[in-house]
Amino acid sequence: MHIVVCMKQVPDSAQIRVHPVTNTIMRQGVPTIINPYDLFALEEALRLRDRLGGEVTVLTMGPPMAEDSLRKALTFGADRAVLLTDRAFAGSDTLATSFALAAALDKVGREFGVPPIVFTGKQTIDGDTAQVGPGIAKRLGLNQLTYVARIADLDPAAGTITVERRAEGGLQVLQTRLPVLITMLEGVNEIRRGGLDDAYRAARAQVVRWSAADAGITDLASCGLKGSPTIVKKVFAPQGRAEQVRQVPTIDRSADELAADVMAAIFQTQPALEEDLLRFAAGQ
């Protein structure tokens, strides 16, 4: 079974700073990492390969330095790495990114075998949109299973997969037919530690590099800034509040007394809310 994992190299969010004048993200000197959510997708793909056989291909779109993250994925046990890199992709939003990755996945299928399962993380830490995975699925006509917490059953012969999907208020058990795109939740597994053999293999491995032309992309107007209708108006760091947190004593206090104290504190800072509630109560 051939499984593809789409991943992204992102700046380490713990060290990102915002320029105080331009309000843009300062990326200089900020180390890059594999998007943490994508590691859960990679581990799930590796577990399926170990159980059912086959191979795992990792695919990313980014600048040439994104090869570092692909080699890191190889040290975890991935079998092949493909880097989609071209200046035409610069400035891509989620729409343009899904367009380019869908084209690359189509070529991956022709070159290395059509993957019945494509994995992504649930979202990236630099964009937080969770749109690229579903966008790829839509463009390629794949069934999509988002926010997956566990793969309960996979039957390659029957071409079916059953998963547990975390949803608001509970857990959904869903079954669909392959091929499928799955976005994995965080915390559902733990990425393995690669051994020395994997490290040596990753260092010697040849990362496949494709330009837009190599991937068969001819519509460059759908790539990069030209194909990105999203406009980021402003990026800013939230300012700290001057107000101090007030702690309400709870020892030897009844629930009614605590509720009264909390409401009094709220009405003190938001008098209009108290007036609105009184008017609402009078109208009932």
Nearest Cα residue to 69 out of 26, 20, 7: 7
Q: What is the pLDDT of residues 124-155, one digit of tens each?
A: 988 889 999 999 999 999 999 999 999 999 99
Separation of first and last alpha carbons in the chain = 64
Domains annotated for the chain, with CATH where assigned, are 2-222 (3.40.50.620), 241-284 (no CATH)
Give the mean model confidence (pLDDT) for residues 215-233. 90
Q: How confident is the model at residue 279 (pLDDT cuts 50, 70, 90)?
A: confident
The whole-angstrom separation of Cα 97 and Cα 35 is: 15
Q: For position 239, what pLDDT does the model report?
A: 78
Q: What is the pLDDT of residues 63-117, one digit of tens each?
A: 999 999 999 999 999 999 999 999 999 989 999 999 999 999 999 999 999 999 9
Percentage of residues in the chain with pLDDT exceeding 70? 95
Mean pLDDT of the chain: 90
Q: How confident is the model at residue 21 (pLDDT cuts 50, 70, 90)?
A: low
| 8 Å CB contact between 117 and 178 | yes
Q: Is the pLDDT of residue 243 over 80?
A: no
Percentage of residues in the chain with pLDDT exceeding 90? 67
